[in-house]
Amino acid sequence: MGEPTVDGATVEVVRSHLVSAAEEMRAALVRTAFNPVIYEVYDFGISIYDRQLRLVAESTGLSRFLGANDYSLRKGVEYVGRENLRRGDVVLLNYPYWNAAHTYDATMFAPVVLPDSEELIGFLCIRAHWMDLGAKDPGYVLDSTDMHQEGIIFPGTKVYDRGEPVREIHELIRFNSRMPELVIGDLNAQIAALRTGERRMTELYRDYGPAVVDAVIDRVIDVAAQRAGEAVAALPQGSWTAEDWLDDDGVSDDPILMRVTVTVADGEFTVDFAGSSPAVPGPVNLPLGATIATCRVAFKGVTTPHEQTNAGHFAPLRVRAEPGTLFHAQYPAATFTQWTGTVALELILKALAQGMPDRLAASSGGDVPGFMMVGRHPDTGDMFAVSNNDPVGWGGTPGHDGIGPANHLCQTQARNTPVEVLESKTGMFFERVEIRTDSGGAGRFRGGCGLRRDIRFVTPGEFLTVIKKTKSAPWALAGGAQPEPNQVIVFPGTDREHRVSTRRTAVAVGDRVTLLTAGGGGHGDPGSRDPEAVRRDVAEGYVSARAARDVYGVIA
């Protein structure tokens, strides 16, 4: 018998069931996680695959995590062996060069096996950020020089075997963490989410039968590949190169060159990082899977941004990065500080903007200004490590202003950590959180504004900042103005005042820090901006009266 014929209604019902299953997995994870970076920030990625390891559905989450799941799942199944995976198994993978992330982004995957026939019908994958797995420093590792300083490694290790927990592995995780309750709690939350997905996929195959579901999956992937191909054909054809710099690698102060060439031709969209820096001593090297995931975010954004993602949407994409370079880390290169991927996303768009300026915005604030406090809670005595990724301004577009402050465009549905959580769970008190007037790049369409945050410490501890673009400004387009880059000022107003980017800073009660996040780049000549728009900007606090007069030539 041949492949069954499926009508459009059946295709949509089955496809929607898979997407809904991924969203139910997300809800289960968020409701059961112990760690605010999961249940508040949504620092996770959840994906569903068919038996051929093709992506068929995903939930909202961190976009670069979602793209990286494909790579890590294939590596994990290859390592464990498909023949060794059985119903009820769950495998943990955090080996960075296979996991396409740093060691604390724990990937857990499970086969989905029908209970009656023992037929393997698919795979589920969840990647989420854990707070501690025994790295050399608590919280975040900023200056490691090899993988072995970055925590305990699991290359593809069963944490559940045929539905039963593997106690020895759970205890190994527990005894290698400074915050074992959080980590074991998040492990169990991921298990709960995987079990939710197993139930939903099993129900789907029971109700429609493997032949029909498999036929639907083939069809939706084929249609997605066709639409992605059509979108690539409709793009301007050509090849464009761009360069940018990371501040440093966390070990030295030397800037690091990033270079990319994007080529759209012959039905393919090729991203080539030739000419970028070789791998560096510090932990900013990017595993190849993470590089591919970054490219997928950019590719999806310019081809099929409004469609639910599956494997077919990436059929025309090709990614090249030489082994041993910044964008293809190899053992034992340090990889913990993954901000390279954030800045690289802007770099890809910078290259594309040369060939399609009418389609793209200017640069956003160019980075994800991250910070974290590590210490011991005064009420409980327990160690805490709670982080936040601050918003930046987005770039002006050919048709409207950039939004801001908003999460960096690489983060999709990820959120900031609420002030209430940061203050109750750490020793930080927020004296000021406000939009920065004049922080967006001027233009016919201006960039969105950045944020100012003033923090006073009410308990001692360490304050960590992770920012890799403070020395070079975000780029503008079509004659727009570049905004000032991100800034972190520690101990402002004292004789110890100085600026940092990625740093661990010991803080005492009463010490202060000021964070200034960058606005987006401007688009177009500021002199051509609508005067009424400038006056509204002044009234709303985005632009000062002085800048209105001196930059835009408008009296407000």
User: What's the Cα-to-Cα distance from 146 to each of 2, 334, 357, rounded to whole Å?
Assistant: 53, 4, 40
Mention every residue, 6+ apart, whose C-beta is less than 8 A from residue 472: 244, 245, 247, 255, 366, 485
> Are the C-beta atoms of 37 and 129 separated by less than 8 Å?
yes
Pairing of β 512-516 and β 383-389: unpaired
User: What's residue 224's pLDDT?
Assistant: 97
Pairing of β 317-320 and β 268-272: parallel
User: What's residue 64's pLDDT?
Assistant: 78
> Are the C-beta atoms of 393 and 408 separated by less than 8 Å?
no
Across the range 332-336, mean pLDDT stands at 97
Structure-block tokens of residue 340: 């390279």
When pLDDT is cut at 50, 70 and 90, the band that residue 415 belongs to is confident
Across the range 268-280, mean pLDDT stands at 98
Report helix, strand or coil for 210.
helix
> Are the C-beta atoms of 53 and 80 separated by less than 8 Å?
no
Neighbours of 78 (CB within 10 A): 12
pLDDT of 420-456, one tens digit each? 999 999 999 999 999 999 999 999 999 999 999 999 9
Q: Identity (one letter) of the amino acid at 248?
A: D
Structure-block tokens of residue 309: 């993602």
> Are the C-beta atoms of 355 and 264 separated by less than 8 Å?
yes
User: What's residue 410's pLDDT?
Assistant: 78
pLDDT of 225-272, one tens digit each? 999 999 999 999 999 999 999 999 999 999 999 999 999 999 999 999
Selected residue with higher pLDDT from 412 and 288: 288
> Are the C-beta atoms of 314 and 266 separated by less than 8 Å?
no
User: What's residue 529's pLDDT?
Assistant: 97
> Are the C-beta atoms of 296 and 67 separated by less than 8 Å?
yes
Alpha-helix runs per DSSP H in 449-544: 531-540
Neighbours of 12 (CB within 10 A): 12
Instruction: For residue 495, count CB atoms less than 10 angstroms from its CB and return exposed for 0-12, middle for 13-18, buried for 19 or more.
Output: exposed
> Over pLDDT 90: what percentage of the chain?
92
Which residue spans within 8-66 are E strands per DSSP? Answer: 44-50, 55-58
Report helix, strand or coil for 198.
helix
- On the question of pLDDT at 1 being above 70, the answer is no
For residues 34 and 130, give the distance between their C-alpha atoms in angstroms, rounded to a whole number.
Answer: 10
Helix axes 288-303, 63-80, angle to 10 degrees: 130
Whole-number average pLDDT of the chain:
95
User: What's residue 63's pLDDT?
Assistant: 78
Question: What predicted TM-score, i.e. pTM, was given to this entire model?
Answer: 0.96
Neighbours of 74 (CB within 10 A): 15
User: What's residue 2's pLDDT?
Assistant: 60
pLDDT of 18-62, one tens digit each? 999 999 999 999 999 999 999 999 999 999 999 999 999 999 887
For residues 133 and 378, give the distance between their C-alpha atoms in angstroms, rounded to a whole number.
Answer: 23
When pLDDT is cut at 50, 70 and 90, the band that residue 331 belongs to is very high
For residues 91 and 78, give the distance between their C-alpha atoms in angstroms, rounded to a whole number.
Answer: 12
Structure-block tokens of residue 270: 């090729």
C-alpha Rg value of the chain to the nearest Å: 24
User: What's residue 116's pLDDT?
Assistant: 84
Q: What are phi and psi of 493, to 5 degrees?
A: 75, 10
For residues 550 and 544, give the distance between their C-alpha atoms in angstroms, rounded to a whole number.
Answer: 10
User: What's residue 414's pLDDT?
Assistant: 80
pLDDT of 136-178, one tens digit each? 999 999 999 999 999 999 999 999 999 999 999 999 999 999 9
Query: Edge-to-edge strands of the sheet including 498-500?
Result: 428-435, 451-457, 512-516, 487-490, 498-500
Q: Identity (one letter) of the amino acid at 147?
A: M
Q: Which residue has the tokens 């940018």?
A: 244
> Are the C-beta atoms of 24 and 200 separated by less than 8 Å?
yes
Residue (of 481, 489, 422, 405) closest to 454 by Cα position: 489
User: What's the Cα-to-Cα distance from 264 to each of 229, 267, 272, 316, rounded to whole Å?
Assistant: 11, 7, 11, 10
For residues 245 and 243, give the distance between their C-alpha atoms in angstroms, rounded to a whole number.
Answer: 7
User: What's residue 411's pLDDT?
Assistant: 73
> Are the C-beta atoms of 519 and 435 separated by less than 8 Å?
no
pLDDT of 356-412, one tens digit each? 988 999 999 988 899 999 999 999 999 999 999 999 999 999 999 999 898 888 777
Q: Which residues pair with 374 in a beta bridge?
A: 385, 462
Q: Which residues pair with 320 in a beta bridge?
A: 272
Helix axes 210-234, 8-32, angle to 10 degrees: 90
Across the range 106-113, mean pLDDT stands at 98
When pLDDT is cut at 50, 70 and 90, the band that residue 118 belongs to is confident
When pLDDT is cut at 50, 70 and 90, the band that residue 491 belongs to is very high
User: What's residue 543's pLDDT?
Assistant: 97
Selected residue with higher pLDDT from 5 and 92: 92
User: What's residue 67's pLDDT?
Assistant: 78
